[in-house]
């Protein structure tokens, strides 16, 4: 592992801008694929599935059928079903506590201002299946959407090269969670299909879920046609550790990140002894040597890691100084893996330093707000002079007339349409 002593020069080295992940070749390739999906629809899906997944997929097999789902249940392990029930309880229980509630605030002259929350109607979830079928990503995205009240959820995931089918555990979990609209489409073409719509796949309002650099770039390019959850990069973990940290725990958690393609591990430590142990055990990653835990928190906030583990003598105290992290794992018995699979909060987290401005996927991800404004004639009259001055200042005279028309004396009420019957 590379060792860096924390100072101003180190800060410049470690500071990350998501733009650094931008790749011109990926941008152009993604743009071309999206344009073709928008133009050619299902034919483009079939072409790129053949090109990238080596599966010649007939158009009628893009959508998963009930027969496919039934066969999937025959292949999964029976003990997985009660396990999923327990996981569902954990995830649902966590997100039911965070939902925003609509509210109204009464004011003078009968004014009533408020905010009305409602779920997105149709959401598309991308489930990767490249290096490994991410079954956990199914329940970590679907359950928060269900808690939020999303009525229509679709899943796009790549077919397996050997069979042309979707991993049976992905199908079974999706079905058990009430998702029956599933498509054998992956990569950029899947993002394009969900964003623009095709004959087989109807357009969605929002796209969520992890993916590789091409999927991430596709989500960035379709933002505006649809909403997205975040723009994410490679998976990462940062560990703040002092002399009390167990070297074996630190080693295991840093190595676990190497199972992800491009995974990055950071050790931020006040202990020179721990630093030397890690240098002898692990080749990849970065060790940042700091003088104090306060400095360690400064480094952690600069990195803004997807996963931040705190293994110190008083981890709760350290936690209070953390402002930027996707998920914070407090104490030596709270490894990132428990959050990846079981604890409750979604493992779809901001990466690449984007935790400075993105939040983790949650039930709130699937909720949008509408502001509500209700005025009475008396309230409008009381506001008249202020609004008139503002419209004059901006030169928007028709806006002023819109107000004054309602306050003109003897303004006749619009005639009600007569019932032809």
DSSP state of 226: B
DSSP assignment of 13-66 equals HH---GGGG--HHHHHHHHHHHHHHHHHTHHHHHHHHHHHH-----GGGSBPPH
Of the pLDDT bands very low, low, confident and very high (cuts 50, 70, 90), residue 415 is low
Fold for the domain defined by 2-20+234-357: Rossmann fold (3.40.50)
List the beta bridge partners of residue 226: 223
Residue 289: strand, helix, or coil: strand
Q: In the annotation, is 259 catalytic? A: no
264-269, strands of its sheet edge to edge: 2-5, 286-289, 264-269, 236-241, 307-311, 327-330
Of the pLDDT bands very low, low, confident and very high (cuts 50, 70, 90), residue 235 is confident
CA distance 411 to 255: 75
Top-tier CATH class for 41-97+119-232: alpha beta
Average pLDDT over every residue of 268-273: 95
Length of the chain: 421
pLDDT digits (tens, 9 = 90+) for 165-224: 999 999 999 999 999 899 999 999 999 999 999 999 999 999 999 988 899 999 999 999
pLDDT for residue 14 is more than 50: yes
Average pLDDT over every residue of 32-42: 97
Task: Give the pLDDT confidence score for residue 129 in this predicted structure.
Answer: 85
pLDDT for residue 4 is more than 50: yes
Task: Give the pLDDT confidence score for residue 80 in this predicted structure.
Answer: 80
HSE of 173, CA atoms in CB hemisphere, 13 A = 27
The pTM of the whole model exceeds 0.75 = yes
Average pLDDT over every residue of 17-41: 86
User: Which segments of the chain belong to CATH 3.40.50.1980?
Assistant: 2-20+234-357, 41-97+119-232
Residue 5: strand, helix, or coil: strand
pLDDT digits (tens, 9 = 90+) for 81-139: 888 889 999 999 999 988 878 889 999 999 999 999 999 999 999 999 866 678 899 99
Angle between helix axes 247-256 and 272-281 (nearest 10 degrees) is 50
**Of 36, 307, 309, 347, which one is the catalytic site residue?**
307
Helix (H) or strand (E) holding 191: helix 187-196
Task: Give the pLDDT confidence score for residue 8 in this predicted structure.
Answer: 66
Lowest mean pLDDT among 15-24, 89-98, 336-345: 15-24
Of the pLDDT bands very low, low, confident and very high (cuts 50, 70, 90), residue 20 is low
Of the pLDDT bands very low, low, confident and very high (cuts 50, 70, 90), residue 416 is low
Of the pLDDT bands very low, low, confident and very high (cuts 50, 70, 90), residue 305 is very high
CA distance 127 to 142: 11
Task: Give the pLDDT confidence score for residue 414 in this predicted structure.
Answer: 56
Task: Give the pLDDT confidence score for residue 10 in this predicted structure.
Answer: 72
Please name the residue ranges forming H helices in 104-184: 135-148, 168-176
Task: Give the pLDDT confidence score for residue 418 in this predicted structure.
Answer: 60
Mean pLDDT: which of 10-14, 19-23, 417-421 is highest?
10-14
**Of 36, 217, 302, 306, which one is the catalytic site residue?**
306
pLDDT for residue 410 is more than 50: no
Q: In the annotation, is 307 catalytic? A: yes
**In the chain, pLDDT over 90 holds for what percent of residues?**
74
Report the mean per-residue pLDDT for the chain: 90
Cβ burial, residue 334 (10 Å; 0-12/13-18/19+): middle
């Amino acid at each position: 592992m590379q060792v860096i002593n924390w100072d101003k020069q180190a800060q410049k080295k470690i500071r990350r801008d998501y733009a650094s992940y931008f790749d011109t070749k990926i941008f152009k390739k993604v743009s071309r694929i999206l344009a073709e999906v928008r133009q050619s629809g299902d034919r483009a899906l079939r072409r790129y599935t053949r090109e990238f997944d080596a599966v010649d997929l007939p158009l009628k097999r893009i959508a998963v059928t009930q027969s496919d789902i039934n066969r999937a249940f025959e292949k999964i392990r029976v003990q997985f079903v009660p396990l999923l029930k327990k996981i569902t309880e954990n995830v649902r229980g966590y997100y039911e506590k965070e939902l925003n509630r609509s509210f109204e605030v009464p004011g003078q002259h009968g004014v009533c201002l408020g905010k009305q929350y409602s779920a997105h109607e149709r959401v598309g979830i991308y489930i990767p299946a490249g290096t490994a079928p991410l079954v956990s990503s199914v329940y970590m995205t679907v359950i928060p959407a269900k808690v939020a009240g999303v009525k229509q959820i679709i899943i796009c995931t790549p077919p397996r090269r050997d069979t042309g089918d979707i991993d049976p555990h992905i199908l079974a979990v999706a079905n058990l969670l009430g998702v029956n609209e599933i498509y054998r489409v992956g990569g950029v073409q899947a993002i394009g299909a969900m964003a623009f719509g095709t004959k087989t796949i109807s357009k969605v309002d929002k796209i969520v879920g992890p993916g590789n650099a091409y999927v991430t770039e596709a989500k960035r390019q379709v933002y505006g046609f649809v909403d997205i959850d975040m723009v994410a990069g490679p998976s990462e973990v940062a560990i703040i550790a002092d002399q009390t940290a167990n070297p074996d725990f630190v080693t295991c958690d840093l190595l676990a990140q190497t199972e992800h393609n491009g995974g990055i591990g950071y050790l931020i430590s006040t202990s020179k002894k721990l630093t030397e142990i890690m240098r002898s055990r692990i080749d990849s990653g970065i060790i940042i040597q700091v003088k104090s835990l306060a400095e360690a928190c400064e480094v952690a906030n600069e990195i803004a890691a997807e996963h931040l583990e705190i293994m110190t003598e008083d981890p709760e105290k350290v936690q209070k100084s953390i402002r930027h992290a996707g998920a914070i794992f407090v104490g030596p018995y709270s490894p990132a893996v428990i959050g990846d699979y079981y604890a409750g909060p979604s493992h779809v987290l901001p990466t690449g330093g984007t935790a400075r401005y993105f939040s983790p996927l949650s039930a709130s991800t699937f909720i949008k707000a509408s502001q509500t404004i209700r005025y009475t004639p008396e309230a409008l009259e009381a506001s008249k002079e202020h609004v008139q001055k503002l419209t004059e200042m901006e030169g928007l005279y028709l806006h002023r007339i819109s107000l004054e028309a309602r306050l003109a004396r003897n303004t006749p009420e619009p005639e009600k349409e007569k019932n032809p019957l």
